[in-house]
Copies of this chain bind each other. A is one copy, B any other.
Amino acid sequence: MNRRDLLRAAGALGAMAALPGGAMAQRNLEGAFPTPTKKYRRITTEEAFATLPQLNGFRDIGKYLDSGSDLSFTQTLLGDSSYARDMTPRLLNLGEGRIKEMDEGGIAMQVLSLTSPGVQMFSPDTAVAIARESNDILAEAIRKYPTRFAGLGAMAPHDPKRGPAEMERAIKQLGLNGFIVNSHTDGGYLDEQRFWPILEAAEALDRPIYIHPRSLPETSLAPFRPYGLGGASWGYAVETGTHGMRLLFSGVFDRFPKLKIILGHMGEGIPYWVYRFDHMYNTAKRNWGTGSLKEAPSFYLKRNMMITTSGMFSEPVLKYCMEVVGVDNILFAADYPYQDNREASAFMDAAKISEADRIKMYSGNAERVFHLKV
């Protein structure tokens, strides 16, 4: 797909959405969902978009890399499968086509983030440039639709000077609401000291970092590769959950006590393990003198992390998480366009929970952590 094709794809969304059996048909295969009521301000918080600079970067990287799970995903978006013909224009659309789908799903506002793996496959120079261009495109969309869009700024985590500088620009000049990092960067994780400038900037700017999945580093991927398990059915959660666990165990939350990290997919499995990892942390500390955290790891999960419902529309999981991490730490999210807005809303509308709790997850918690206008 060349630049002209991309532009054509971007322009085509309106037409595709209007065609019977076009872009919408695939989504209807999920089955019918009840029409969302109008009584809630539903804010979704892990909602993907792409920009032409990013897709051009993906196209260029395909010329000199010849394998890799993330590469495969990005090349799929550039291809001409029916999946790409559906998905890529919707990712690129930051206007009426997207808003029409939000309305169908009862979504008042999307907190947008550059689709995975963001700029993290690119060299620092390219990553810095594409993050900047993409943040400008995002800010322009928010200026045009200030009641419908908010957004997380992209940055190059592997540039310890220009990464934090772009974070400051994103908040102070562009008015964005937080940051997006797509898990590891060249096999490095944010607990490592070389990335602390990113954590320091987020804390200083009082905005959260959303850690979105990408593939495990290729060097670790062998056991996860069969049956497509390296992706959204398992491996993404292993990668991103591991990232979260490293942050919890590393002491970065003692160093940056006001830092907020958000994990999608109901916390990438971490909440399931609260009992065990605290127990094992304490056992190791007692037996071997390891561990120098001021508190047990679960303390930081509750103080410094939030989780979202993206792609996990399961009431048993929701209730479990409300019990172990608390309703104030749970944000509503759909994962548009990869998941269905209407299913997300139908799930949260139907959950047997109190109205006060539902409103916190739909809007109150997001308004607070992202500093959104109420």
Instruction: Point out residues on A near B: beta carbons under 8 Å.
Output: 26, 29, 81-83, 184, 187, 189, 191, 216-217, 219-224, 226-229, 231-234, 237-239, 241-242, 245-246, 249-250, 265-266, 269, 272-277, 279-281, 284, 286-288, 290, 311-314, 316-317, 319-320, 323-324
Minimum CB–CB distance for A150 against chain B, Å:
25
Query: Inside 8 A of A279's CB, which chain B residues have their CB?
Result: 311
Query: Inside 8 A of A82's CB, which chain B residues have their CB?
Result: 287
Among B187, B273, B286, the residue within 8 A (CB) of A222 is: B187
Query: Inside 8 A of A241's CB, which chain B residues have their CB?
Result: 234
Query: Inside 8 A of A234's CB, which chain B residues have their CB?
Result: 241-242, 245, 273, 277
Known contacts: A239-B223, A273-B234, A277-B234. The answer to whether A229 contacts B246 by CB under 8 A is yes
* Assembled-state Cα–Cα distance A6/B320 (Å): 45
Known: A223-B242, A316-B324. 15 other contacts (CB 8 A): A29-B286, A216-B223, A217-B223, A219-B220, A220-B223, A223-B239, A226-B250, A228-B249, A229-B249, A233-B277, A233-B280, A233-B281, A266-B272, A275-B312, A316-B320
Chain A binding surface, main DSSP class: helix
Q: Please give the count of copies of this chain that the complex contains.
A: 2
Q: Are B223 and A280 in contact (CB under 8 A)?
A: no
Q: Are A232 and B280 in contact (CB under 8 A)?
A: yes
Minimum CB–CB distance for A221 against chain B, Å:
7
Query: Inside 8 A of A220's CB, which chain B residues have their CB?
Result: 219-223
Closest residue of chain B to A314 (Cβ to Cβ) is B275
Q: Are B242 and A238 in contact (CB under 8 A)?
A: yes
Query: Inside 8 A of A273's CB, which chain B residues have their CB?
Result: 233-234, 237, 269
* Assembled-state Cα–Cα distance A27/B140 (Å): 61
* Assembled-state Cα–Cα distance A316/B276 (Å): 12
The 6 closest A-B pairs by CB, nearest first: A275-B314, A227-B249, A233-B280, A220-B220, A233-B277, A272-B272
* Assembled-state Cα–Cα distance A125/B370 (Å): 61
Known contacts: A275-B313, A276-B311, A311-B276. The answer to whether A229 contacts B245 by CB under 8 A is yes
Query: Could you pull out 19 A-B pairs where Cβ atoms are within 8 angstroms?
Result: A82-B287, A83-B287, A187-B223, A226-B250, A227-B246, A227-B249, A227-B250, A228-B284, A229-B242, A229-B246, A233-B277, A238-B242, A265-B276, A269-B272, A272-B272, A275-B312, A276-B311, A279-B311, A316-B320
Query: Inside 8 A of A266's CB, which chain B residues have their CB?
Result: 272
Query: Inside 8 A of A281's CB, which chain B residues have their CB?
Result: 233
Minimum CB–CB distance for A83 against chain B, Å:
5
* Assembled-state Cα–Cα distance A260/B219 (Å): 32
Q: Which of A237, A238, A290 has the most CB of B within 10 A?
A: A238
Closest residue of chain B to A249 (Cβ to Cβ) is B227
Q: Which of A227, A229, A312, A319 has the most CB of B within 10 A?
A: A227
* Assembled-state Cα–Cα distance A327/B90 (Å): 43
Query: Inside 8 A of A317's CB, which chain B residues have their CB?
Result: 272, 275, 320
Query: Inside 8 A of A265's CB, which chain B residues have their CB?
Result: 276
* Assembled-state Cα–Cα distance A313/B279 (Å): 10
